[in-house]
Amino acid sequence: MTDLRKLLASAKCVLFDFDGPVCRLFAGRRASDVAAEIATSLSERLEHGDPRRRLEIFDDPLALLVEVYGQGESAELVAEWERRLTEQEIRAAATAEETEHADSLIRALSAAGFRLAVTTNNSPSAVSAYLRRQGLEACFGEHVHGRTGDPKLLKPHPHCLREALESTGSSAAESLMIGDSPDDWQAASEIGVPFLGYAPSPGKRELLRRVAAEEVILTSLQPLCIAAGDGPQLE
C-alpha cells in the first residue's frame, strides 16, 4: 500500500489505458471472431497476402489492423479496415464488462481532484460510448485520446499520451499511466511518465515483467482504489 500511496502522492494526472484497466471491451464476443470477420470481408481487396494466416498470433482486430498496415496495403484499404474496426468497437461498448473496481477507482480519483484521461489504441468514440453508459463521462471530460487515422501513431508510439498531457495541462513527471501491456509501458517510458501495471492473469504479468521488471504491477485494482480513497484532496 505504501508504494501505491507514494505513486499517487506524486501524481496530479492519471492516464488510463482502456481495454483492460477500465473494461473488457469484447466481453460479449471473442475478439478473435471480430478480427476474422473483418479480415474475411476485406480479403479480396488485399494486395499483399491474407493476414488471416496469422490469426493465431494476431488474434485481435487491433493487432490485425497493425499487421495489414505493416504489410503495405493501400491507404484506402487500411482506412476501411479501421472504419470497420471502429464500428465493431462501438457496438462492443454496449456489452463491455467493467474491470473489477475500475469504476470505483475512477470516481475516487476524480473526487480527489486528479486530472483523468484515457490513452488508448481503441476508437475514442467507443471509449466515450462506454463512459456514458457507466456514468463516467464527467470524470474524463474531453480527455479521451484514442486511435487516429494513422496506424503509425498507435502505442507503443506515445502520441496519445502526449495529447493527454497537453489537453490536461500536465507534465510527464506529475502523471501516472495505468496500463496492461508492454506497449503501454514503452509509450509511457519514452516520454517519462511513471507507469503502474495492471495484469490480472499470469500471462499478462509475465509479458509486463519482461519489460517492466522494476514497476509496480497489480493483479487487482482494489488496493489502488483504497489508496485513492485515503489520499489527500488535490488542488
Q: Are 99 and 220 in contact (CB under 8 A)?
A: no
Q: Are 170 and 12 in contact (CB under 8 A)?
A: yes
Confidence class for position 31, pLDDT limits 50, 70, 90: confident
Pick 44 or 198 by higher pLDDT. 198
pLDDT at site 213 = 82
User: Three-state SS string across 113-126, please?
Assistant: CCEEEEECCCCHHH
Confidence class for position 55, pLDDT limits 50, 70, 90: very low
Contacts of 132 (CB under 8 A, 6+ apart): none
Domain spanning 2-24+97-230 has what CATH number? Answer: 3.40.50.1000
pTM of the model: 0.90
